[in-house]
Structure 1
Amino acid sequence: MERNPAAGRYLHALGNVTFLERPFHPTTLISLAQSALRGRRRQYEARARLDQLRELAAVLEQRVEERTAEHAAAVAQLHEAQKLETLGQLTGGVAHDFNNLLTPIAGALDILQRRYGNEDPRSARLLSNALLASDRATVLVQRLLGFARRQALQTQAVDLSGLLNGMRDLITSSIGPTIELHMQTDPDAGLASADPNQLELAILNLCVNARDAMPQGGVLSVMTERVAIGPRDAPHLTPGLYLKLSVIDTGTGMDAETLTRAVEPFFSTKETGRGTGLGLSMVHGLAAQLGGSFALTSVPGEGTRCDLYLPVAEAKDVVETNVARKVTHVAGRPLRILLIDDEEIVRVATAEMIRDLGHFVAEAASGSEGLAKLTEGLEVDVVISDYKMPRMNGAELAKRVRELRPQTALLIITGYTGTAVDLPKHLARLAKPFNQSDIANALGALVDVDDKIVRLIGA
């Protein structure tokens, strides 16, 4: 370098250069060459590892993004579930109070119509309109309870294909002539665990919603199939076998914002007066209460798909015929009834409806008061009790009455039963709100008149 300064530029240009001054021994040259090769190999290895690190960093970054997206989706789903649960609790409480208000109103209107409806046509017309409004309010409350998952369900094994085939004419008349109905059912799919009446109402709601989404006509497809749900499969069900009912339309569809709010109670995109906004919320609540799920997918301008997942029925879901104990009485004798309800306005109205039917009624404001009357020797043929009462609900009361008076018939009034329905399936029930005809029919179901013998059933 001292004798040839120009060689310095090679050092800067080439970077990894070794200068060897002559004379040198061949061993020195070989040693330097081998050292240079080892250095080059280490460079290549370092570069390869850097490339691997870059690839791993890219993969890690992608995984972090995916996990972050999954976490965000899970948090959003949790917030949505919490929001719906909160709405459900609020809705269930409102429906419970509304039921207690409707019961005396409907009962009083029914009695007034029976007594004075034939005397004054104007009064009869007004009473009929009031009863019609009461019936509509009853349907509204049932839908609220359906969303809140607080309605009392009569769960049993249901042939979904047979149910749909039986509803074909009803669906066809409901959707109108401009919509073409395609129905494809799998008769070998098995039985679903569901309440047939509520399920039929849910299917009709879905079909009517589909009709409203196709104002210019279109195609409505209703299909059933048996599906197996695995871990982490949508729509986040417990792994197992389910029956999937799909209602698909070719209508206007929904955007993402509308889709996220579709199952909220009272949310509706229809014109004012054309819907309550409770159809989809009721279906959502019914599916959750049955242990299934409800999923919506939609594309604006292309249509909407509604998938209702129902658990496959087990042996315990099959409704058995109950063998009831019977107590004989003289034919035509009015029934002696103990009425238990903590709501005074409901209890008084119910008692008046029953007395108007010709029966004797003793009243109690709580389960403990009713049991005390029975312990003191009150002779009754039927005990009628509200389900939700403080300190002792209807199920607990029924058990105590069975122990105290095993041959006494029981009728439980249900309006809001909570998330866990612990009433035995054979126990007779009457849903709030009810009118005089409803309670007469309920008592009629407990009483079988045959050859001047009254048999009380339900013990």
Structure 2
Amino acid sequence: EGWRIRKNGTPFFITGSVSSIRDDAGNLIGFINILRDATERRDAEEKLVQAREQLAVSQKMEAIGKLTGGIAHDFNNLLMIIGGSAQIFARLLDPKLPRAIEAIQTAAKRGESLTRQLLTFSRHQHLSPTVVDLNASIKNMRTMIESSLRGNIVYNENIGDGVSPVKVDLAELELAIVNIAVNARDAMPNGGTFTLSVNAVTVDLDIGDNRLGEASFAIAFNDTGIGIPPNLLSKMFDPFFTTKEVGKGTGLGLSQVYGFAHQAGGTVKADSNVGQGTTITVYLPSCADEQITSKELSAARTKAGHSQRQTVLVVDDSGDVADVTSSLFEHLGYETIYRDSAEAALKLLEAGTKIDLVFSDIVMPGTIDGVGLAREIRSRYPNLPIALTTGYSDAAKAAPPNLRILRKPFDTEALRDFIQDIAASR
């Protein structure tokens, strides 16, 4: 086997054999040399090897995703208790303790960020996608991106003025861009240039169960850093994989980028040359046929607090989480009633108890989960608002699109905004 050159100068791959020709007496009288063009076969074999490697990577990522998704669900409940309790302590304890309380809250926020990145990677994060102008959204992030870099790094944007509509969770897009910017910063310890470009592209890629069609947008992030060796390039989107020193990175940043891109119906690619820098490209499908959603909230938002205290029914199988949730509601001026299952909540409503809002966890034991409870309430009590909360659940995918879901863990401010959004939309 080997390469040969055609008369026109193009290479082709051959398989060949040479055999001797002998007369009846056994004397060597010549040779037969047979060459076959095996270029197509070689190309097919190489594509098969690449496909097997991609399948192995996909299966590995899927297995890790299932593991991280399950862990993060329970971890978010713990963070809900820690963060919510810290807020309660801040209102009750001696004023000499604020620094300790602040440390607890900071740790809870850090844990929330880590689990959020884990869930996005595993594609189990409940997203709230809206159709946005990609160009305008990224331009609005300039200050945030520059603050993620360092003073000795020049930030350049190559973004057109046209409208580039994509359907994404804007918070997850921001997190993905920050994660890429931070990795670029760490790859340029002596300074350099970080360039973000947005371009309409024509691609045709299979992405798991999705297919990225021709109309797409590519967000390219280029740095002039140290680059990534070829043997590490295939691992860079793996969760917990990092080349940074212990304590300098979690290895979750780029895995969040991977999860965000795929959950948005796109994909992400990386190219790098050692000593010359790295380019990470996120591909997102175009939503040209959908209307861009205004990010302005309704002017009809209600103010926190009411002339008459309203009652919230808190439904959660975890008593500790329910205690924290009830305390946050009470801090906002609400009365609360607690039930530990959907069945118990429905019995309370059937008894005629006056409830102004039902706030339920999604994952609960029993025959009815939070989504099922929402369906029952909307059927029996159509004027009663209901909202759901979860740290992670595949059951959230079954929720009606007009049903509000608040991610755990949340604090008083997030809960207040959430309730105001519900009131403004009614």
Specify which of 48, 52, 59 is matched with residue 75 of structure 1: 52
What residue number does 1:205 align with? 179
Q: For each residue in 1:213-238, what CA deviation from the matched residue of structure 2 results, as whole angstroms up to 9, or x when unmatched?
A: 1111222111111112236799x943
C-alpha contact 2:207 2:266 (8 A) present in aligned 1: no
What residue number does 1:421 align with? 397
What residue number does 1:105 align with? 82
Pairwise CA distance, 1:178: 1.7
Specify which of 373, 381, 398 is matched with residue 356 of structure 2: 381
CA distance in 2: counterparts of 1:84 and 1:317, whole angstroms: 34
- SS state of the match for residue 157, structure 2? strand
Unpaired runs of 5+ residues, structure 2, are: 1-23
Specify which of 239, 248, 258 is matched with residue 284 of structure 1: 258
- SS state of the match for residue 421, structure 1? helix
What residue number does 1:144 align with? 118
Determine if the alignment matches structure 1 residue 371 to structure 2 residue 330: no
Pairwise CA distance, 1:322: 10
TM-score (norm 1): 0.78
| Cα gap change, 1:331 to 1:270, in 2 (>3 Å) | closer
Pairwise CA distance, 1:209: 0.9
What residue number does 1:401 align with? 377
How many residue pairs end up in the alignment?
Answer: 397
What residue number does 2:216 align with? 242
Pairwise CA distance, 1:290: 0.6
C-alpha contact 1:154 1:195 (8 A) present in aligned 2: yes
Specify which of 40, 43, 58 is matched with residue 63 of structure 1: 40
Determine if the alignment matches structure 1 residue 341 to structure 2 residue 316: yes
C-alpha contact 1:334 1:360 (8 A) present in aligned 2: yes
CA distance in 1: counterparts of 2:206 and 2:326, whole angstroms: 53
Larger radius of gyration: 1
Pairwise CA distance, 1:83: 0.6
- SS state of the match for residue 227, structure 2? coil
CA distance in 1: counterparts of 2:414 and 2:115, whole angstroms: 17
CA distance in 1: counterparts of 2:213 and 2:412, whole angstroms: 46
- SS state of the match for residue 408, structure 1? coil
CA distance in 2: counterparts of 1:419 and 1:90, whole angstroms: 17
C-alpha contact 2:388 2:404 (8 A) present in aligned 1: yes
What residue number does 1:171 align with? 145
- SS state of the match for residue 156, structure 2? strand
| Cα gap change, 1:331 to 1:79, in 2 (>3 Å) | closer
Unpaired runs of 5+ residues, structure 1, are: 1-10, 17-46, 447-455
CA distance in 1: counterparts of 2:376 and 2:191, whole angstroms: 58
Pairwise CA distance, 1:272: 2.2
> Does 105-114 or 354-363 show the bigger shift?
354-363
Pairwise CA distance, 1:331: 4.8
CA distance in 2: counterparts of 1:314 and 1:424, whole angstroms: 24
Specify which of 260, 267, 276 is matched with residue 293 of structure 1: 267
Determine if the alignment matches structure 1 residue 156 to structure 2 residue 130: yes
Pairwise CA distance, 1:300: 1.2
CA distance in 2: counterparts of 1:233 and 1:145, whole angstroms: 19
| Cα gap change, 1:212 to 1:397, in 2 (>3 Å) | same
What residue number does 2:92 align with? 115
CA RMSD of aligned residues (A): 3.2
What residue number does 1:253 align with? 227
- SS state of the match for residue 192, structure 1? strand
C-alpha contact 1:414 1:429 (8 A) present in aligned 2: yes
| Cα gap change, 1:316 to 1:394, in 2 (>3 Å) | farther
What residue number does 1:36 align with? none
Percent of aligned pairs sharing the same letter: 31
CA distance in 1: counterparts of 2:143 and 2:419, whole angstroms: 34
C-alpha contact 2:271 2:280 (8 A) present in aligned 1: yes
Pairwise CA distance, 1:163: 1.8
What residue number does 2:14 align with? none
C-alpha contact 2:315 2:342 (8 A) present in aligned 1: yes
C-alpha contact 1:156 1:317 (8 A) present in aligned 2: no
Specify which of 361, 384, 387 is matched with residue 336 of structure 2: 361
CA distance in 1: counterparts of 2:193 and 2:417, whole angstroms: 42
> Does 183-192 or 260-269 show the bigger shift?
183-192
> Does 404-413 or 188-197 show the bigger shift?
188-197
Determine if the alignment matches structure 1 residue 309 to structure 2 residue 283: yes
What residue number does 1:94 align with? 71
C-alpha contact 2:301 2:421 (8 A) present in aligned 1: no
Pairwise CA distance, 1:162: 1.2
C-alpha contact 2:133 2:292 (8 A) present in aligned 1: no
What residue number does 2:246 align with? 272
| Cα gap change, 1:210 to 1:428, in 2 (>3 Å) | same
CA distance in 2: counterparts of 1:440 and 1:420, whole angstroms: 21
- SS state of the match for residue 368, structure 2? coil
- SS state of the match for residue 141, structure 2? helix
Specify which of 167, 170, 173 is matched with residue 193 of structure 1: 167
What residue number does 1:42 align with? none
C-alpha contact 1:246 1:305 (8 A) present in aligned 2: yes
What residue number does 2:406 align with? 430
- SS state of the match for residue 222, structure 1? strand
Pairwise CA distance, 1:176: 2.1
